Structure 1
Amino acid sequence: FTSLRQLATGQFGTVSVVKDEESGKTLALKTLDKRYLLRHRERACFMEERDVLVRGSQIPWFPSLTIAFQDTSSLYLGMEFLQGGDLAGLLDRRDGDGVEGEGSGLTEDETRFYLAELILALESLHDLGYAHRDVKPGNVLIDARGHVRLADFGACALIDPETRRIRGAIPVGTPEYVAPEVLRAQEDGRKGYGPDCDLWSVGILAYECLRGISPFWAETDAQTFARVMDHESLICSEGSRYGIAEAKKDPFFAEVTFNLLWNEGRPPFVPDLSSPEDAHYF
């Protein structure tokens, strides 16, 4: 591979745009540090991420996995390069910084399109038996046609097929978007939580799209978590929250034909790209 540009750096590794010299294809190469993964194995779900991409290879809402390999120090996932950037970048371009004051956000029609496709992506993921647990604007990518691709399955967890619950007391996700039941699981991991923790995150994302600011952001993670736990005045609790089926029937989506979105939906934003290596939306 020839490295063209680094897109992101995180705790577990990096994501870079590379060119496969054999095929000539441009890929997004995710490089994960083995030592870090081993030290944080309860939070770093590499096998789940790979399995989702392999088992979901026919699902249009996920990036296509091209290659997976390893060497002595790192694990690698080579995926199609989705050139339209992400929803976080789209919001930034609308002057919504999500930190200090409100930005302009997106229109209702724009928000409706992205939420509808995101809900379909999560429906596919839950049907595979996984919860994402880190739904946020930065993990909602936009492809060259302008459609949504749900990305970064590194926090995914298996859903128990009998109880439809996820067990675990290790905090996962991004503070502003994490569901309160996920935080409560730190105190009692036996009870766990359901895949609808992802729908909580969709609700936060919806608010941010429309208002240009995240509802629970605070100066510190501890303050953010406190605001999330004191959420009753804004968003419903786990027991009364929508599931995927209920969300699709909400009046907000009354004019959306979900099964036609991929082939006939009209994205509100179509990237203007100069080449297969064009990464200017990142």
Structure 2
Amino acid sequence: MLNNSQNPSLLSDGLSQASTQQGSKTYSSHSIKKKSINVQPNSFLKIKLLGKGDVGKVYLVKQKTTDKLYAMKVLSKKEMLRRNKVKRALQEQDILASANHPFIVTLYHSFQSEDHLYLCMEYCMGGEFFRALQARPKKCLIEDQARFYAAEVVCALEYLHLMGFIYRDLKPENILLHSSGHIMLTDFDLSKQSFPIGQPSVVKNAFTFSFRSNDTPPAIDTKSCTGHFRTNSFVGTEEYIAPEVIKGTGHTSAVDWWTLGILLYEMLYGTTPFKGSNRNSTFSKILKTEVQFPPTPHDQQLSSSCKSIVKKLLNKDEYRRLGSKTGASDVKSHPFFKSLNFALLRHSTPPIIPPEKSFDTPSLQRRGGDNNSFDIEEEKLMLDSERSNPFGEFNSSNLLSFYSSFYTNILFSHTFASWR
């Protein structure tokens, strides 16, 4: 057995030679639970630190037996108990273990030791989308490029809503670039599950714009999967928080469409539309100020359809916001996406292709701002430290796997048939 001086991957920060707890199970990607595989912390070599948060760190690691690279999230049980964040970790594992979508990061293994939880995920060589934006000329994209990435985010949000999840923390820092250049959503610890999950329905008279062909498959109403669900948690990231979250009136999946509007604006301008000198100023602008469209840093005048979709996504009235009626179908049918075929996105060449063999570096911080996520749970919950076995569910069978495979088949048959 190697010691820490012989190999930097072992012992420190939870990637140790300690064996996993009895009864741990390993989950493959795409919601298919495979037979038990003997994966432990010392099955991997630590290469470098990719990022860190308040309860753990993310490392680039290599599996010894295959030489395959992964992103390993190592979470401290002690810190999660101290900060009452065990439920968030379980929620994230639940989503990742049940997800089956090309624009959501893949979970390959999850296991635990006495002191840590481990999530072994697909390594996205391009790193954070935020870093990629910062490296672009003028730190932003032109409209056609922004449209492409917005469309991929819409597809990922559509899938999450179909599964009954509200994402709640969309931002460039939570979007990763795959080696192919396509996006992958990550960091689901602030996501919220609707229970019971509503049944999706077919949208009548959807895609009626003249640019849609008559043989376009019927669209799915993803709003019906979460439409009955409302939560009062104060979560999100300062410059991306929706008005209803600030007001404390409760929120629905409509918050995800607000954050899409903020993301689209930031892709176009290199800054968010309501950024103030401090947090109170930012919140005040979110509640009171209408979005403005000066010339972009590329001196590009945005199209009328681009301005329209941003305005509709950033409607301060959540009930009139684009996406509030039938979810992603509302958004996808907007003229801004007229030139795109959503079913062929996965086969299209993305605007940004990461250089080969480039290792991502730790996250950048927003200049003069705060990219940390709020996590204030206003609903009455038992403290993690009060539970008899707070980590007992981490390796349990995922009850959402049925919904994942069932709803994925529905979604792919209507929208992503050509991806299979």
TM-score (norm 1): 0.87
Residue equivalent to 1:129:
164
Q: 1:252 aligns with which of 313, 322, 336?
A: 336
Deviations 1:184-203 (A, max 9, x none): 23xx5xxx311120110010
Secondary structure of 1:66's aligned partner: strand
Residue equivalent to 1:206:
264
C-alpha distance in 1, partners of 2:287/2:79? 30
Deviations 1:61-86 (A, max 9, x none): 11111111112222110101000122
Paired residues in the alignment total 265
Residue equivalent to 1:118:
153
Structure 1 residue 233 displacement after superposition:
5.4
Residue equivalent to 1:85:
127
Structure 1 residue 159 displacement after superposition:
2.1
The reply on whether 1:265 has 2:348 as its aligned counterpart is yes
C-alpha distance in 1, partners of 2:279/2:51? 21
Residue equivalent to 2:315:
236
State whether residues 157 and 166 of structure 1, in contact with CA within 8 Å, keep that contact through their aligned partners in structure 2: no
Structure 1 residue 218 displacement after superposition:
2.8
1:85 aligned partner, one-letter code: G
Q: Which has the larger radius of gyration?
A: 2
State whether residues 42 and 170 of structure 1, in contact with CA within 8 Å, keep that contact through their aligned partners in structure 2: no
C-alpha distance in 1, partners of 2:180/2:263? 22
Change (3 A) 1:43 1:115: farther
Residue equivalent to 1:28:
71
Report sequence identity in percent. Answer: 35
Q: 1:197 aligns with which of 236, 245, 255?
A: 255
State whether residues 274 and 291 of structure 2, in contact with CA within 8 Å, keep that contact through their aligned partners in structure 1: no
* More displaced 10-residue stretch of structure 1: 194-203 or 36-45: 36-45
Secondary structure of 2:239's aligned partner: coil
C-alpha distance in 2, partners of 1:144/1:74? 29
Structure 1 residue 260 displacement after superposition:
1.2
State whether residues 126 and 181 of structure 2, in contact with CA within 8 Å, keep that contact through their aligned partners in structure 1: yes
Q: Report the aligned-residue RMSD.
A: 2.1
1:86 aligned partner, one-letter code: E
Residue equivalent to 1:65:
107
Change (3 A) 1:174 1:266: same
Change (3 A) 1:206 1:44: farther
Change (3 A) 1:65 1:233: closer
Residue equivalent to 2:141:
106
State whether residues 53 and 63 of structure 1, in contact with CA within 8 Å, keep that contact through their aligned partners in structure 2: yes
Change (3 A) 1:271 1:230: same
C-alpha distance in 1, partners of 2:192/2:56? 20
C-alpha distance in 2, partners of 1:106/1:253? 16
Structure 1 residue 104 displacement after superposition:
4.9
Counterparts in 2 of 1:102-181, with a 5 A limit?
103-160=138-195, 161=197, 164-181=227-244
Structure 1 residue 212 displacement after superposition:
1.2
C-alpha distance in 2, partners of 1:242/1:40? 36
C-alpha distance in 1, partners of 2:60/2:262? 30
Deviations 1:222-252 (A, max 9, x none): 3322222224556312111111111101111
Residue equivalent to 1:218:
276
C-alpha distance in 2, partners of 1:115/1:245? 14
1:225 aligned partner, one-letter code: F
Structure 1 residue 272 displacement after superposition:
1.6
2:244 aligned partner, one-letter code: E
Structure 1 residue 150 displacement after superposition:
0.9
Structure 1 residue 44 displacement after superposition:
5.6
1:236 aligned partner, one-letter code: N
C-alpha distance in 1, partners of 2:171/2:119? 21
The reply on whether 1:76 has 2:159 as its aligned counterpart is no
Structure 1 residue 265 displacement after superposition:
1.4
2:45 aligned partner, one-letter code: T
Residue equivalent to 2:359:
279
State whether residues 147 and 337 of structure 2, in contact with CA within 8 Å, keep that contact through their aligned partners in structure 1: yes
TM-score (norm 2): 0.59
Deviations 1:69-110 (A, max 9, x none): 112222110101000122211210125xxxxxxx45101111
Residue equivalent to 1:98:
none
The answer for unaligned runs of 5 or more in structure 2 is 1-43, 199-225, 293-313, 363-420
